[in-house]
Structure 1
Amino acid sequence: MNPVLVRRQGALGRLTLNRPEALNALNLPMIRILAAALDAWEHDDAVSAVLLDGAGERGLCAGGDVRFLADDAAAGGDQAAVLLSQEYRLDARIARYPKPYVALMDGVVMGGGVGVSAHGSLRVVTPRTVLAMPEVSIGYVPDVGGSWLLGHAPGELGLHLALSATRLGAADAIGCGLADVAVASERLGELVAALVDGAEPAAAVAGLAVDPGVASLAAHREWIDRCYTAPGLPGILDALRDAGEPDAAQAAEAIGRAAPLAATMALRALRAARELPSLERALEAEYGLTRCCVRWPDFAEGVRALLVERDGSPRWDPPCPEDVTDEVVARFLRGVRPTDPPLGLLPG
Structure 2
Amino acid sequence: MLHRSLPRLRCVLKHLRAVQMSSKADEEILFHTNKSLGVITLNRPKALNALNLSMAHKIYSQLLNWEADPNIGLVLIKGAGDKAFCAGGDIRAVTEAGRKGEPLAQEFFRQEYILNHKIGNYKKPYVAFIDGITMGGGVGLSVHGMFRVATERTMFAMPETAIGLFPDVGGGYFLPRLDDNLGIFLALTGFRLKSRDVKHIGIATHFVESSKADELQQRLSGLGSHPSKDQVASVLEELQAQSKVDADKEFTLKPHLDKIHQLFAGSTMESIFESLERDNSQWAAQQLQILKKMSPTSLKITLRLLLEGKKRSLAEDLVVEYRLSQRCIADKDFYEGVRAVLIDKDNSPQWNPADITEVQQKKVDWYFSPLEANRELVL
Interval containing the TM-score (normalised by the shorter chain): over 0.9
In the alignment, what sits opposite 2:10? none
Contact 1:140 1:294 in 2 (8 A): no
Contact 1:124 1:179 in 2 (8 A): yes
**Cα deviation code 1:136-163 (max 9, x no counterpart):** 0000011110111101110210010000
- Is residue 369 of structure 2 the alignment partner of residue 344 of structure 1? no
In the alignment, what sits opposite 2:346? 311
Contact 1:292 1:336 in 2 (8 A): no
Contact 1:292 1:335 in 2 (8 A): no
Alpha-carbon distance in structure 2 between the residues aligned to 1:318 and 1:335? 23
Change (3 A) 1:297 1:335: farther
Which structure's CA Rg is the greater one? Answer: 2
**Cα deviation code 1:97-148 (max 9, x no counterpart):** 1111000011100011000001111110011110001100000011110111
1:18-37 equivalence runs, <5 A: 18-37=43-62
Q: Which residue identity lines up with residue 337 of structure 2 in the other structure?
A: G
**Cα deviation code 1:298-317 (max 9, x no counterpart):** 00110000001100100001
Which of these residues, 260, 264, 271, is aligned with residue 235 of structure 1? 271
Q: Which residue identity lines up with residue 258 of structure 1 in the other structure?
A: M
In the alignment, what sits opposite 1:284? 319
Deviates more, 1:155-164 or 1:320-329: 320-329
Give, in angstroms, the shift of residue 219 of structure 1: 2.5
Alpha-carbon distance in structure 2 between the residues aligned to 1:176 and 1:113? 17
* Structure 2 alignment gaps of length 5 or more: 1-25, 225-230
What TM-score comes out, normalization by structure 2 length? Answer: 0.87
Contact 1:149 1:177 in 2 (8 A): no
In the alignment, what sits opposite 1:61? 86
- Is residue 47 of structure 2 the alignment partner of residue 47 of structure 1? no
Contact 2:30 2:41 in 1 (8 A): yes
Contact 1:15 1:52 in 2 (8 A): yes
Q: Which residue identity lines up with residue 248 of structure 1 in the other structure?
A: A
Alpha-carbon distance in structure 2 between the residues aligned to 1:80 and 1:10? 38
DSSP 3-state at the match of 1:104 = strand
- Is residue 181 of structure 2 the alignment partner of residue 150 of structure 1? no
In the alignment, what sits opposite 1:111? 136
In the alignment, what sits opposite 1:245? 281
Which of these residues, 245, 252, 258, is aligned with residue 294 of structure 2? 258
DSSP 3-state at the match of 2:193 = coil
In the alignment, what sits opposite 1:100? 125
What TM-score comes out, normalization by structure 1 length? Answer: 0.94
Deviates more, 1:185-194 or 1:246-255: 246-255
Give, in angstroms, the shift of residue 76 of structure 1: 1.6
Contact 1:58 1:108 in 2 (8 A): yes
Identical-residue share of aligned pairs (%): 36
Alpha-carbon distance in structure 1 between the residues aligned to 2:82 and 2:330? 34
RMSD: 1.6
Give, in angstroms, the shift of residue 218 of structure 1: 2.8
Give, in angstroms, the shift of residue 19 of structure 1: 1.0
Give, in angstroms, the shift of residue 339 of structure 1: 5.0
DSSP 3-state at the match of 2:116 = helix
Q: Which residue identity lines up with residue 201 of structure 1 in the other structure?
A: V
Contact 1:16 1:54 in 2 (8 A): yes
Alpha-carbon distance in structure 1 between the residues aligned to 2:252 and 2:272? 21
In the alignment, what sits opposite 1:322? 357
Alpha-carbon distance in structure 1 between the residues aligned to 2:368 and 2:185? 24
Contact 2:152 2:210 in 1 (8 A): yes
Give, in angstroms, the shift of residue 331 of structure 1: 5.2
In the alignment, what sits opposite 1:133? 158
* Structure 1 alignment gaps of length 5 or more: none
In the alignment, what sits opposite 1:206? 237
In the alignment, what sits opposite 2:228? none
Q: Which residue identity lines up with residue 281 of structure 2 in the other structure?
A: E
DSSP 3-state at the match of 2:78 = strand
Q: Which residue identity lines up with residue 202 of structure 1 in the other structure?
A: A
Contact 2:323 2:369 in 1 (8 A): no
Contact 1:150 1:270 in 2 (8 A): yes
Give, in angstroms, the shift of residue 41 of structure 1: 0.5
Alpha-carbon distance in structure 2 between the residues aligned to 1:235 and 1:20? 42
Give the length in aligned residue pairs.
343
Alpha-carbon distance in structure 2 between the residues aligned to 1:180 and 1:132? 16
1:64-75 equivalence runs, <5 A: 64-75=89-100
Q: Which residue identity lines up with residue 322 of structure 1 in the other structure?
A: T
Contact 2:320 2:368 in 1 (8 A): no
